[in-house]
Structure 1
């Protein structure tokens, strides 16, 4: 995205090598290939739905229904659910076809990520070339990668991430957050290159949308504003008044975008609140606080936190633990729909011992992330062996264009490393650091042309291999689905069979049911969303497989009677195959739900309830199967 009057000093097109000229012309075709290869995942990527995904879908439903009180959530932010709601409307989805629509939404977000990568790499190169003119340390060697080579590398790394942690089959906001953060960093780099206030404003807008995707962006916005001030004052020698004005403008634009939601969340909580996901995760992963079903009198599970629960889950029975979620009127599984509601007034305190334990674990996870993403850093090593070298100017006055993305990327790793590292969290940091390092490479002065040619060729090869690998994986996924007779990767036989069977039993939208075991309750309760029911009671058995705990469970009949008294139509659990025969007192009454591993125990159904004609909602999936 070049702006008139802001062109960097670069080599003219006549100085391009034939390879560079060919890559520039091939660029639109490569973008199309990358998009088409990734589009295949929207049709054939594997089912990967979990409790997080269902919560986002539920919030999307509330947005479509204009039920704003339910949208205000201290744990999940609203931008991604709004995208799901838009996709649901555009594709005219039903309960049984919505998941395919959401895969297509994720593909749209992937296209947005491609644009964000281009904006980031172009801004990085633009700042590099502009600062080359003002560098007090003369750097005569040519940059190893030009603008298009860095674009190819960025898109290749994005395609690789979309095969792994940012898969289209994961209904989660991390890819959307990454796109917004990359746009924000691109605007920040543009401001450094031009000193135009509009880029500071764009940074604030982009980071405001990032916050609406995930509350982590609030801390990232503060870091970006501090980086803007420090870099402008120390390296660019800008006037303090103009620098402070730029930072204030960025914050103002952030507030315009994110402020209304922060105000609504704070009003609903009765205190200033920017989101509770960070503090709760610190309490769980560092402080040792019990993550699920914490009660007021369980001081042994408080960890380092100070616990004064405002409205904990209602405990109906202690042994086994039977819980009611009727207090929260939203969500398929209210316990995970807004965990900040149930854990309100869990006040986190610093835990040195827990921090050492968590940081040690997260260092291992960071190392595993690097091992799982070897392509780019191995290429970097190869280029260094081929004669490339770093020129990482860092003193004031030097061309320190690389410093901001590397610094911000390290801070992202550090922040998550203090609490909990997952690959989907830190991919944006990895992209920012690696692309900045590649942009800082210089060709050897003795064999400049040859080094540039080798580097550009290897980057192009990596870009082609990334798309080729996606194509191979998609072809394999499609073949497997054809053999199984499945309409798409989003179709999970266990989940959909269970939903159809429950609907056929007379259980459907508006009904309250109960669940037992982590597999049916916490890990993947999409079957309940498909059925159209809400899980308002749970028999909590934290271990899997379920059957041994069911067999040894004390007060089994009392627990069933307690659940029945809550009005649940059925009790649903996920059992290993071949165990729930119905021929023993332990399994009597349980019904297999279709050909799935889900089983239902009727509680408040009519005695003659039996499978009947499938509901109209199934017609869409039947047509897809045909």
Structure 2
């Protein structure tokens, strides 16, 4: 037995020497593979992404009245603008710059993960903890690679990865303060939370909770004098207010009341209270749900059936209805809805289990460590022995806040990382440390290798489709080319029909430089079936024409767009895309051509 223990100790020592030496090379490996995704990650742009791009455009033009937005916050759009300036991008190739911005944010997340795991490891008292600082670093980066392939991919132009990095920095500063007692770390925490708020309004509530947790833990668990605990919390609050305060002030002035963002309130009204999400009008009381609705400036309804709406009153955004939905939904005040909370809560429980099942690696690894004899140390004693309370509790808080409304994977990953990494840091059993380190190293290396395999397949698929890069989207290119051929110019207004061409896939309008100011609302599927079944089609199209829009654009099934029926007559296919345009107010001499008949173009195999 002694010989076995000596062999284990030698193996453990050799592995503990190897892992720190290999760590810089591992970081370079992860960064290099992820950079490949900045080149080849496929097109994943939706309406949310376009709204952030539009805000970035307003920042670049110093149009601050349009930047202040109750639904989308400005820090991520500012990063997008910086990337576009650095790479001298135009709207035609801006996505490449945005993918590179997301890559820079990924590198920031790597630093944040290391800071967080180091802060947890440093806060622990000496003992037979299973994983050391280096092993936790490998585990954290491996989990980050998993998240970047599943819900935080570089092809998604969204702020969730940036928010995750900033919240991890904030929690790292909080844990470091609990270990050292140095007030400067509370200032760093407040600063990081302020930047997180400028990324998403969720961080306002979470920031206040972090400050309250700081004061409570210092006073209760660490038995710090109340005055010192309050001083630490006050410094954090002041730094948070210095960063977040100007935007809160600007938003409150815009809304005429104290306001730090309305995305949470609106989502509660929509998902829990049953309030109609799209195109709510003041007289539609049956669609108010549990909310109190007194709309200040609702969308202008031009026709009730079919629903036709004008967005001309909001002067910003490619698709104003989603550029700032708080403008058209101003004065929707959600009320507590018990039945809705039960219904939505049940759904969110299912989504939680789905998330865990979609991220089985750490669960399996944790179970294996426990089966091998490791145990979780839930020590409630005062001081650093209760190191796990704060990060584990804050991770649960993140899940709980989103769990009351809507659990999406990209929202809760930061909470998941906080919980999982803390649980691994709590494991004790030094006798299997060598085996545990080897298992962590295998997991950490296998994830980038799997990412490399996926990257090679992406590159192969793009070669088959003759694409020069992942961010190139033939549908958009062809649609813009077709609009230009019809005589539609940047700055023109257009109309749209159908959910796909209006809300979900509106990037064609941004690249063309046009604004969608009128919509014929058709919520499901290709719009051609809806158009054919419309009893007053001629009246509806004439209503849209009177708004002055150049063309009416929709996403259609090409096989049904024959041009030989009343519904399809006059529609022009935009290049080799699924988008079609009906001329409304085009200049004389505009180029038109008969609609094509045939199968859907091969470039859109992904649709």
| C-alpha contact 1:182 1:428 (8 A) present in aligned 2 | yes
Aligned partner of 1:402 in structure 2 is: 388
Q: How does 1:548-559 map to 2 (within 5 A)?
A: 548-559=529-540
Q: Does 1:531 align with 2:512?
A: yes
Aligned equivalent of 1:499, options 461, 480, 487:
480
Distance 1:398 1:199 in 2: 17
Distance in 2 separating the partners of 1:117 and 1:398: 21
Q: Secondary structure at the match of 1:573?
A: strand
Quick check: 1:355 aligned with 2:341? yes
Residue 583, structure 1, aligned to residue 572, structure 2: no
Displacement of 1:606 after TM fit? Answer: 2.8
CA distances 1:72-122 after superposition (whole Å, capped 9, x unpaired) = 000000000000000010011011100111011000000000000011000
Q: CA deviation at 1:15?
A: 11
Given candidates 506, 515, 518, the residue that maps to 2:496 is 515
Paired position in structure 2 for 1:83 = 79
Asked if residue 486 in structure 1 is aligned to residue 467 in structure 2, the reply is yes
Contact persistence 1:319–1:554 (CA under 8 A): no
Quote the offset at 1:496 in angstroms: 1.8
Note the aligned Cα RMSD (angstroms).
1.4
Among 160, 173, 177, the alignment partner of 1:191 is: 177
TM-aligned CA deviation for residue 395 of structure 1: 3.7
> Any stretches of 5+ residues in structure 2 without a counterpart?
1-9, 594-607
For residues 384 and 412 of structure 2, what CA distance do their matches in structure 1 show?
Answer: 29
**Which residue number corresponds to residue 566 of structure 1?**
547
Q: Which moved more, 1:550-559 or 1:241-250?
A: 550-559
Q: Which residue of 1 aligns with 2:587?
A: 606
Distance 1:58 1:579 in 2: 34
Q: Does 1:452 align with 2:460?
A: no
Q: CA deviation at 1:396?
A: 3.2
**Within 2, Cα distance between the matches of 1:272 and 1:222?**
16
Cα separation, 1, equivalents of 2:459 and 2:514: 32
What is the DSSP-based 3-state SS (H/G/I as helix, E as strand, rest coil) of the residue aligned with 1:330? Answer: coil
Equivalent residue, structure 2, for 1:18:
14
- The residue that corresponds to 2:3 in the other structure is none
**Contact 1:185 1:405 survives alignment (8 Å):** yes
Counterpart residue number, 2:367 = 381
**Separation in 2 of the partners of 1:490 and 1:440?**
42
Moved over 4 A (4+): none
Residue 204 of structure 1: which of 190, 196, 206 is its match? Answer: 190
Contact 1:320 1:553 in 2 (8 A): yes
Aligned to 1:615: none
User: After superposition, what is the alpha-carbon deviation per residue over 1:459-494, rounded to whole angstroms, capped at 9, x for unaligned?
Assistant: 000100110011000000001101111011111211
Partner of 2:95: 99
**TM-score in terms of structure 1 length:** 0.92
Task: Write the distance in 2 (CA, Å) between the matches of 1:556 and 1:179.
Answer: 50
Q: Within 1, Cα distance between the matches of 2:303 and 2:107?
A: 50
Aligned match of 2:417:
431
What SS class does the counterpart of residue 385 from structure 2 fall into?
coil
Output the TM-score relative to the length of structure 2: 0.95
CA contact under 8 A between 2:179 and 2:384: conserved in structure 1?
no
Structure 1 segment 49-128 matched on structure 2, within 5 A: 49-128=45-124
Deviation at 1:398, TM superposition (A): 6.7
Q: Structure 1 349/252 Cα, relative in aligned 2: closer, same or farther at 3 Å? A: same
Q: Which has the higher mean CA deviation after the structures are superposed, 540-549 or 233-242?
A: 540-549
Give 1:176's match in structure 2, choosing from 149, 162, 166: 162
Cα distance between partner residues in 1 of 2:397 and 2:503? 32
Aligned equivalent of 1:44: 40
Q: Which residue of 2 aligns with 1:219?
A: 205
- For 1:350 and 1:378, how far apart are their aligned partners in 2? 39
Alpha-carbon distance between aligned partners in 2 of 1:310 and 1:71, rounded to the nearest angstrom = 20
1:35 aligned onto 2:31 = yes
User: Once the 2 structures are TM-superposed, how far is the Cα of residue 546 of structure 1 from its aligned partner?
Assistant: 1.8
Q: Is contact 1:177–1:213 with CA below 8 Å preserved after alignment?
A: yes
Q: Secondary structure in 2 aligned to 1:399?
A: helix
Q: 1:611 to 1:320 in 2, by over 3 A?
A: closer
TM-aligned CA deviation for residue 392 of structure 1? 1.4
Q: 1:121 to 1:611 in 2, by over 3 A?
A: farther
Query: What is the CA deviation profile of residues 352-402 of structure 1, one whole-angstrom value per residue up to 9, with x for unaligned ones?
Result: 000000100000000000000001111000111112111110243571111
Query: In the alignment, is the contact (CA less than 8 A) between 1:152 and 1:459 conserved in 2?
Result: yes
Tell me by how many angstroms 1:547 deviates. 1.7
Which is further off, 558-567 or 494-503? Answer: 494-503
2:139 aligned residue (153, 165, 175): 153
Separation in structure 1 between the aligned mates of residue 421 and residue 489 of structure 2, nearest angstrom: 51
Q: Give the match's secondary structure for 2:589.
A: coil
Aligned length: 585
Q: Give the whole-Å Cα distance in 1 for the aligned partners of 2:384 and 2:98.
A: 47
Q: Is the 8 A contact 2:378 2:426 kept in 1?
A: yes
Q: Contact 2:485–2:590 (CA<8 Å) still a contact in 1? A: no
